[in-house]
Structure 1
């Protein structure tokens, strides 16, 4: 039964680009809702033969409504190729938009994952003829594009008007804005005016829930704890502070071991009692926020001022970027908090690494662990 409902969803996915062309968000919502309903129906134990007949009828109805996508004879081979061990949302068929193919056949060509290599060779000739400077798409990037309905980035992220303006920090720079963990309606931002504000987006209108005051100089960075009940912040006043988000009170103030300006911070993902900070004297320190002391063996020196920090999701690897264009990786000992320097990568000599974001899974096209790096060379860089 699982294979049958996945076949039904796969048919719907192939036609998803034609649904509500002016509302790409609806297409994704529609296909996910279809997936949910089909899974629930599969548990009801309907006759598999009836469900298989439904697949064919669904195909015919969609073809009648939107037109055929490809040779109908390929449907049987396509259906047999579906494996029930993978979800259909990860296996959606890809739409390759070829102007010459559309002119000759009047519709998009559908490309299954099994024919990526052949399709890439066929597409290369088309892409190489495009004018210099054009973005060259790749065959392996079509899965996400198909889910978005073959629309462009500008169409999917079109600016549709100002929802709200928070102006509580209007007189000073705002170094960081970050949503709370798993909460799309709660965010915080820090400012060089020495405060941190916690904002709530719903119900409308959005409001500033509270402002955290205590730092005597600009706040350079902050991080939410895993449960969002605590925020840690670093400041140019050489201290880090621990805040209770519920009432905005400062729980603890900890001075930098080197007496230097603190420029960045991050929680240890698996142990929020440990926080890593980077300072202006080129040092990274692992701090125990309960004792207010640095962890033995939890310090290391970089070539420049430490501007950015990021852990991988298991908390075993720490990356740090400095103002001289270098990214360092460290092995983190979960038992002791000790840091062991691993590798150094020079992105661009003398260019500050202002932000690092580590992800173990970014998209269907980038399944390897990846680092998104913001460097002061007018570029965002993605590293494997």
Structure 2
């Protein structure tokens, strides 16, 4: 993608928040941005572009008080329709009026989603055109292995790409180290090995701007790292002296970290002070094995080793937690991964929670209220009974027929599942590992998939390019 297209994509995402009562202005703004960017003829400097995009995103988020991931379904679909028509139809007054109508009127066959529908229907011709008319199975075909990393001596418990970065990858291992890798610039390589923990690393998370990384370990410490240098900025002990089994940044404020312990404590930590705020600690029935925020950072879901999910309401100002709803996934079966996502397409309105549970199941729930209540949507059979297998949503869901999730498996495969298929939901399975697949992660544009296994091997897969 050309540099100006990347910049335009960022502006298009926020376009619904510019002059919300004046759709014509929004259309003119994004059209003029497109013209100026294409006419500037700058040389493509990857470092300068990356810095510009980071600053641009930060300024837009500060101006409109909303993150990229927090954009509503309506604003995403409207802005993407606007941007796609800009490039497809040109700058004629006629095309401008059609775009303004699509942004402002809310009328037409695309305005009202079918009841319970999750994804664009098979009659959504515009959506099919954007992805080249290919099926969901074709979209998740892979051309082979891009690179194999073997720098870790024990199970790699988690892999995760940086936010809005196609090649920045981090890995956590039971050998007590983390590694930061660059996988799409020249020869893939390990840029930093992070050494501070004295026992296995159980979980980690990137800050929104990728300049910080937080990790938790069996050694009972939460570590904060500077990703540019690999330096450990702070190591904070768990306040009860327990093992740290899960951790993550708040999606809107990287000053807040939430960690879960082997003693059942859910703990909010202020990384600036290294202190646990009053009211930011609560207890659940089992060991806290998985955590996930909704995109707005107001609801926190906590999974434990007894097969229970407990929701909490998070106070952004104080870091306080208040218990919400409780649901039993499968009694006695550990919840090993939680992933929340608002499905941002024209016909999907409901936020979802994806749950990996060690009862040979991958479970999809619909979020039904503002306290994090859940209702079962689908359950899939995945080999998972004894390892901390993880799963994730495939990030590009706006213009697809069908919607895909991906999971590791104890049968050594990587499973791709279409949640809309009533029968035979498995659409692809990658076979390359020789031991149970634990971690799975897509980069933001789905060009690369990283998977890890119980022996410490990390495979980066390259997706076939759409024609």
TM range (shorter): 0.5 to 0.7
1:97-131 CA distances to partner (integer Å, 9 max, x unpaired)? xxxxxxxxxxxxxxx548987xx9xxxxxxxxxxx
Alpha-carbon separation, structure 2, partners of 1:341 and 1:114: 36
- The residue aligned with 2:442 is none
CA shift in 2, pair 1:32/1:335, >3 Å: closer
1:163 aligned to 117, 121, 146, which one? Answer: 146
User: 2:137 aligned with 1:154, yes or no?
Assistant: yes
Displacement of 1:359 in angstroms is 1.9
Q: Answer yes or no: is the 8 Å Cα contact 1:362–1:370 preserved in 2.
A: no
Displacement of 1:150 in angstroms is 4.7
User: 2:195 aligned with 1:195, yes or no?
Assistant: no
Alpha-carbon separation, structure 2, partners of 1:36 and 1:335: 40
Alpha-carbon separation, structure 2, partners of 1:221 and 1:345: 23
Unaligned runs of 5+ residues in structure 1 are 3-30, 53-79, 94-111, 121-136
CA shift in 2, pair 1:158/1:213, >3 Å: same
Q: Answer yes or no: is the 8 Å Cα contact 1:141–1:365 preserved in 2.
A: no
Question: TM-score, normalising length from structure 1?
Answer: 0.66
Alpha-carbon separation, structure 1, partners of 2:242 and 2:122: 45
Q: Answer yes or no: is the 8 Å Cα contact 2:268–2:276 preserved in 1.
A: yes
Alpha-carbon separation, structure 2, partners of 1:335 and 1:199: 34
CA shift in 2, pair 1:154/1:38, >3 Å: closer
How many residue pairs get aligned? The number is 286
Alpha-carbon separation, structure 2, partners of 1:346 and 1:313: 23
Greater radius of gyration (CA): 1
Query: Where does 1:66-215 land on structure 2 (aligned, <5 Å)?
Result: 84-86=100-102, 113=110, 140=121, 143=124, 147-169=130-152, 171-215=153-197
Q: Answer yes or no: is the 8 Å Cα contact 1:328–1:341 preserved in 2.
A: yes
Query: Where does 1:1-384 land on structure 2 (aligned, <5 Å)?
Result: 35-38=85-88, 41-42=90-91, 46=92, 84-86=100-102, 113=110, 140=121, 143=124, 147-169=130-152, 171-376=153-358, 377-384=360-367
Displacement of 1:348 in angstroms is 1.4
1:274-314 CA distances to partner (integer Å, 9 max, x unpaired)? 11000101110011122222111111111111111111222
Q: Answer yes or no: is the 8 Å Cα contact 2:119–2:346 preserved in 1.
A: no
Alpha-carbon separation, structure 2, partners of 1:114 and 1:312: 25
Q: Answer yes or no: is the 8 Å Cα contact 1:282–1:305 preserved in 2.
A: yes
CA shift in 2, pair 1:116/1:297, >3 Å: closer
CA shift in 2, pair 1:151/1:288, >3 Å: same
Alpha-carbon separation, structure 1, partners of 2:348 and 2:170: 29
Alpha-carbon separation, structure 2, partners of 1:227 and 1:284: 25
Q: Answer yes or no: is the 8 Å Cα contact 1:355–1:375 preserved in 2.
A: yes
Higher helix share goes to which structure?
A: 1
Q: Answer yes or no: is the 8 Å Cα contact 1:116–1:140 preserved in 2.
A: no
Q: Which runs of structure 1 show a deviation greater than 6 angstroms over 4 or more consecutive aligned residues?
A: 31-34, 114-117
Range with bigger deviation, 174-183 or 368-377: 368-377
Alpha-carbon separation, structure 1, partners of 2:354 and 2:302: 12
Q: Answer yes or no: is the 8 Å Cα contact 2:110–2:346 preserved in 1.
A: no
1:311-356 CA distances to partner (integer Å, 9 max, x unpaired)? 1222111111111111111111122111000111111112222111
Question: TM-score, normalising length from structure 2?
Answer: 0.55
Alpha-carbon separation, structure 2, partners of 1:213 and 1:115: 53
Alpha-carbon separation, structure 2, partners of 1:34 and 1:221: 38
1:165-196 CA distances to partner (integer Å, 9 max, x unpaired)? 11112x31111111111111111111111111
Displacement of 1:271 in angstroms is 2.1
* Matched residue SS, 2:333: coil
Alpha-carbon separation, structure 1, partners of 2:119 and 2:252: 37
Alpha-carbon separation, structure 1, partners of 2:82 and 2:207: 31
Alpha-carbon RMSD across the aligned residues, in angstroms, is: 3.4
Q: Answer yes or no: is the 8 Å Cα contact 2:119–2:347 preserved in 1.
A: no
Alpha-carbon separation, structure 2, partners of 1:337 and 1:155: 44
